[in-house]
Amino acid sequence: MKAKNNSPKLDRKLGLFDSTMMVIGIVIGSGIFMTTGLMADALPSASLILIVWLLGGLQMLAGALTYAELGAAMPKAGGQYIYLREAYGSLPAFLFGWVAFIAYLTGTNAAIAVAVAEHLGSFYPSISTHNIVIGYDYFSISGGQIFAISLILILSFINYLGILFGKWIQNVFTILKIGSILFFALAGLFISTGNHIDLSINPTNMSIGSILTGMGIALVAVTWTVGGWEYVTFAAGEIKNPKKNLPLALIIGTVVIFVLYIIINIAYLKVLPMDSLIGEIKVGEATAKALYGPGIAGAFVVVVIISMFGSLNGNILVGPRISYAMAKDNLFFSKAADVHPKFHTPGNAIMIQGLWASVLALSGTFEEIITLVVFVNFMMWIAASSTVFVLRKKQPELERPYKVWGYPYVPAFFIIFSSAIMINTFFESPQQSLMGIGLTLLGIPAYLYWKKN
């Protein structure tokens, strides 16, 4: 008679609303309040800016539809890691997890936490990144870094205590975020500032080559701003009725993001003249000032902080599920595979991620390390979405409660479109792209070590 397996397991406590809020909350960070001004610098045309956002939205939706099939068929913790493992084997899956842990997810968490500190520093200078607390030769620690580390560890501990705590934080801050963006965008659409959108395609008489180059640069910025919708698949092992709710969360979440992004960009273009928009990093704040006057700046900073806080919590909630899945395959620290007997969370994986993100925040290298893996992240994105083709041939008997609409054209569009942006990224930043590939390949010795042991 076999003994019962009484080891604790992850609980399925995320409903459709929770999962949808996770998609929206993770994607919408601070980028939407800054990206359009940088796009205008490369592409000074309201019509072309909106076309680029439309293309970015269609790419996001095509990716979500593709991942919806994969997530519904394999609703396990780790998401993208699982798809790569099943289609291509354990090494490509491990390299995705390696890059996510070493650089991409943890570096993003460090960057967001430091950005929150920097924005709060405008109210409380002691926690600004300009307030140096410890300084020695070339090494220094600011109040902002200390705050960022504290924020990462506190949110990690809250998510350690149970997914219910993490999801409630996510839901509340995402609702606040959606409400703030809607209020702000609708105000921009209906309050007159005397400016009108010039919808001519090429008002500055740019050459065709300059337009194509500008669109390439703008698309990279848009893709960065809409990235993260796939993160909900990392927590697929904790979604209720995932065969139905995971596809719905991906589809509903990306559609809501797309609508919010389009209307807020129309508001930017309606409120700010193109001359004011070009190169404006704080485009959201500049728009708010044009609508309500300089006194609104403080209130708008709060909106940005709310947005970033929700994104950070979402990342901290879902990210450790990749390390947990790797550890279950004996390809990461074995303790990361443990599920807490009381809280039913991958507690060790959560704290390991939190500690490494804190190291990156303390070192101040997170911006450089994120830059290195942008190209690799595109590569992994494309590889994971291609598994929808591979697995239909490799595992035809696999139950697929949802099949991607428009197959094979929708996944093909996502892969081709993403590949074009990836190639553009390489030619724009060849040195960083090659260094990112090198950092990824450094994962091979780590893979061989864990594989051997």
Q: Name the band, by pLDDT with cuts 50, 70 and 90, for residue 184.
A: confident
Lowest average pLDDT, out of 184-188, 296-300, 401-405, goes to: 296-300
**Region for 136 from its dihedrals, namely left if φ exceeds 0, alpha if ψ lies in -120 to 50, beta otherwise:** beta
In a domain, 9, yes or no: no
In a domain, 7, yes or no: no
pLDDT at 3 exceeding the cut of 50 = no
In a domain, 6, yes or no: no
Query: Tell me: the pLDDT tens digits for 408-424?
Result: 999 999 999 999 989 98
- Specify the number of domains making up the chain: 1
Q: Between these two residues, 98 and 198, which has the higher pLDDT value?
A: 98
In a domain, 2, yes or no: no
Query: Tell me: the pLDDT tens digits for 350-389?
Result: 999 999 999 999 988 788 888 888 899 899 999 999 999 9
**Domain containing residue 260:** 16-452
Please report the pLDDT score of residue 16 as a whole number: 97
In a domain, 4, yes or no: no
In a domain, 321, yes or no: yes
Please report the pLDDT score of residue 5 as a whole number: 56
Token pair of 34 as six digits: 């800054």
In a domain, 11, yes or no: no
In a domain, 8, yes or no: no
Q: What is the CATH number of the domain that holds 145?
A: 1.20.1740.10
pLDDT at 192 exceeding the cut of 80 = no
Please report the pLDDT score of residue 4 as a whole number: 44
Q: State the angle between helix axes of 443-452 and 90-99 in degrees (0 to 180), rounded to the nearest 10.
A: 120
Query: Tell me: the pLDDT tens digits for 135-164?
Result: 777 778 889 999 999 999 999 999 999 999
Residue of 106, 102, 101, 153 whose CA lies nearest to 357: 106
To the nearest whole percent, how much of the chain has pLDDT over 70?
A: 98
CB 249 within 8 A of CB 19: yes
Query: Tell me: the pLDDT tens digits for 80-89?
Result: 999 999 999 9
